[in-house]
Every structure is written in C-alpha cells, then in structure tokens.
Amino acid sequence: MESAIVLDGVSKRYGDKWAVRDVSAVIEAGTIVALLGPNGAGKTTAMSLMLGLARPTRGTIRILGGNPVKPATRKRIGVMLQQVSLPAKVQVRELIDLFCSYYEQPLDAKLLLEMADLAPFARKEAVKLSGGQQRRLQFALAMAGNPQVLFLDEPTVGMDVSARRGFWEHLRATAGHEGRTIVLTTHHMEETDSIADRVLLMQDGQIMVDGSVEEVKLRAGNRYVSFLAGPTVTTSDVFALPAVHDVTWSGRHVRITTYQPDTVLRAIITQNLDAKHFEISQGQLEDAFLSLMHRSDVDGSDVDGSDVDGSDASGSDTEG
C-alpha cells in the first residue's frame, strides 16, 4: 500500500517544552487514523506539523511524498481545525462555491451540501448557523477540493448525538474513496471505536501505543466478566475471587473488570457462587485508553517500555 504520511524522527519544541518528541510513523493511503491522548499530549501540535502550519524543530514530514509547506502538497490536503471563524454576511452556498473556486477539480457544491446535511440551509448566512451546523459547514469546506488527505481536529465538537452519528457515517463513506486518508483527533472515543482503522495514543509528545482499535484493547488487557448474582452474593464474595481488578453493580447484575476472565469464571464455578447468565466481553476503547494512561502514570514509563527521556534533545525553535 502507498504511504500517505511519513513522519521521521519528528520533534517540536516551544521554548523549553517539547510538545512532540521523536515521533516516527508511516500512515498508509486510504486509512482512517485517530490521534488520541489526554489534554496537552501533543495531538494538535502533531497535526499542525503535518499540515505545515508549524515547522518541526527536528525530523522530516512527507505528505503524499511532498513537503507539507509547499502549495502543491497543500492543494491535496483538506483541513478542519478547532477554532475557525466564518466570514459575516456570506451564505452557506456562497461560501461553498467560493471554496470550490480555489480548486481545479472541486467536488460538486450540491454534493458538499448534502454530505454536510446542510441542503436546507444553503441560503442561510453562515455565521447564523448553530455551532454544530457550522462544524458541518467546515467539513464541507474541508472537502471542497476533493482532498486526498483530510485532517480533522475535534470535528464533532458542538454536534448533537444524531448529527455526530450522521457525520461519522458520511466520513466512513468518504474515507478510502480513491485512497483518501483521514487523520482525526477526538475525545469521543466510543465513536473512534467504530470508525478508526488505526489508533495512535499520544502522551507527553510521544506515540505510546500504535495499532488497530482491537490491538489497543488487547494491549490494555481489560476484559469484563458479567453475571446475575443470587440474593446472598455480596461485594466481598466477588472481591474474594482471584484476578478481580474492579467490581460494579447494577441491581443484581455484577460486572468484574479483570485481565484474566478465565480464572475469574473458573473460580465462580468451583466456589459454587450463586450466579447465572455469564458473559465475557472486551472493554471499549475508552476503557483501554484510561487503563493504558493510568498504567503509564503509575509506572512513570511508557507502556512499550521504551525510553521516554527527551533530555538529549537539542535544536532551535525557528518557525517558517
């Protein structure tokens, strides 16, 4: 598969703060990549570097084989940033037409309106749209040039549940189309679960975990053993079972968090605990994320066990 994005030893320093530290990654064309991590992890900085809005202090970045600061490369990139102000007194359709005029082979304006579910608002002044509708308009503008690489920074902020669902559906339909690559950041991890082909978990400017959603979940190791407890079963009985990490109750329904579901299940049966309707399931991506972050906080190291020391880093912070 062709590489859409190549990061090679990329670091970015602001003053004495390393916002991104020695990040290397190859993103294949046609994939949807979710960049996740807690506040301040370096996601927005990484995205700015890939967009050519900031220059790396060290390392190189290639987007579609070119330098992201070059206009020829930028023409092939679509972007939806977190804070964008729309011009006053311009209608939705006019704005879309304007953006389409920047490109030699734009997408059809009507199609863009439909993709963003904005057809009924075509003649409305863009600044008078609601927050969620404005995000959808920004998505349409990002798609105007039929980009091969699309960067979306927190795209669903301000959208209600149904708008978010529709947005991810449109995005899934547009991804992979002619090898389109999408890099997104989001704090709505349950949505990433169903859309991302690959997850990059960042912390302290580094990629801590890189893999498919399933791999990240497996890496976190969280599983759940759930069952319906009989009237005599107490919380202490459940905690007395081996390999129990956490227990939650919902009525008489018990959910045990464990890294060893087989061990838990075997113990329930051999100890003849009054329980029925067993189920073993995997945690959601959000659980995996929290668990991996927590482990790294507790260990004081990254989960891969690789060296996180950025003390040897040097270089200037020149922009432009």
Ligand X SMILES: Nc1ncnc2c1ncn2[C@@H]1O[C@H](COP(=O)(O)OP(=O)(O)OP(=O)(O)O)[C@@H](O)[C@H]1O
317 is a contact residue toward ligand X (CB under 6 A): no
Order the strands of the 32-36 sheet from edge to edge.
77-80, 149-153, 181-185, 32-36, 198-203, 206-211
| List 10, 11, 21, 42, residue binding ligand X (CB under 6 A) | 42
Q: Looking at beta carbons only, is 37 or 78 nearer to ligand X?
A: 37
C-alpha span between 100 and 109 (Å, rounded):
7
Quote the least distance from Cβ 48 to ligand X, whole Å: 8
Taking CB under 6 A as the binding criterion, the range among 36-44, 63-71, 87-95, 99-107 that sits at the site for ligand X is 36-44
37 is a contact residue toward ligand X (CB under 6 A): yes
Task: Give how many residues touch ligand X by CB under 6 A.
Answer: 11
Q: Looking at beta carbons only, is 112 or 292 nearer to ligand X?
A: 292
Taking CB under 6 A as the binding criterion, the range among 40-48, 174-182, 234-242, 246-254 that sits at the site for ligand X is 40-48
Residues 43-82 that bind ligand X (CB under 6 A): 43-45
Quote the least distance from Cβ 38 to ligand X, whole Å: 7
* CB-CB contact of 227 with 275 (8 Å): yes
Return the closest-CA partner of residue 224 out of 252, 258, 250. Answer: 258
Taking CB under 6 A as the binding criterion, the range among 35-43, 69-77, 213-221, 244-252 that sits at the site for ligand X is 35-43
19 is a contact residue toward ligand X (CB under 6 A): yes
C-alpha span between 171 and 115 (Å, rounded):
9
158 is a contact residue toward ligand X (CB under 6 A): no
Q: At what angle do helices 213-220 and 285-299 cross, to 10 degrees?
A: 50
Q: Looking at beta carbons only, is 181 or 206 nearer to ligand X?
A: 206
C-alpha neighbours within 13 Å on the C-beta side of residue 238: 24
C-alpha neighbours within 13 Å on the C-beta side of residue 198: 18
Quote the least distance from Cβ 18 to ligand X, whole Å: 8
Taking CB under 6 A as the binding criterion, the range among 38-46, 172-180, 193-201, 228-236 that sits at the site for ligand X is 38-46
The 10 Å Cβ neighbour count of residue 286 is 15
310 is a contact residue toward ligand X (CB under 6 A): no
* CB-CB contact of 78 with 145 (8 Å): yes
Alpha helices in the chain (DSSP H): 43-51, 71-74, 92-101, 109-115, 131-143, 161-174, 189-195, 213-220, 235-239, 261-270, 285-299
Q: Looking at beta carbons only, is 185 or 258 nearer to ligand X?
A: 185
Residues that bind ligand X (CB under 6 A): 14, 17, 19, 37, 39-45
